[in-house]
Structure 1
């Protein structure tokens, strides 16, 4: 999926807390992670996604991920809900 198609998704959750909750509930199709966020911030959610065989897409920066999600600030993670 192209990054700029994210904002067109109806079932999009943005941010660590919402993304982690969705991953833990097993409701995620794809996890997007910004490469420039601190690794300790996203380590648990990435590990959980790998355990559940969820597709992980790495995005160049938090700023680009935020823009792709249609928000004015950077985002460390975003998920598309199944």
Structure 2
């Protein structure tokens, strides 16, 4: 699932807190991690995705990931959400 999928996705979120919440609530369909983000920030998401079988993709920079999510700042991680978002706030 290339970065184009994230750009085109109608249901997506950006940022560590929102992405971790989506993973925990089983509503993340795919997760994207910026390679230049601090490992201590991204490693819990990587671990949880591997445990839950959520596809994980890497993007070169936080700026590139933020741009793909239509935000003006960088993002350490982002996720495409499932169509059914039950369990989310």
- Specify if TM > 0.5: yes
Distance 2:67 2:11 in 1: 17
Q: RMSD of the alignment, in Å?
A: 1.0
Q: Which runs of 5+ in 2 are unaligned?
A: 83-89
Size of the aligned set, in residue pairs, is 82
Q: Given the alignment of the two structures, is residue 48 of structure 1 paired with residue 56 of structure 2, yes or no?
A: no
Deviations 1:5-46 (A, max 9, x none): 423211101100000000011111100000000000111111
Taking structure 2 as the reference length, the TM-score comes to 0.86
Q: Which runs of 5+ in 1 are unaligned?
A: none
Deviations 1:26-78 (A, max 9, x none): 11110000000000011111111110000000000001001111111000000
- Give the ranges of 4+ consecutive aligned residues of structure 1 lying more than 3 Å apart after TM superposition: none
Match of 2:86 in 1: none
Taking structure 1 as the reference length, the TM-score comes to 0.93
Distance 1:17 1:59 in 2: 18
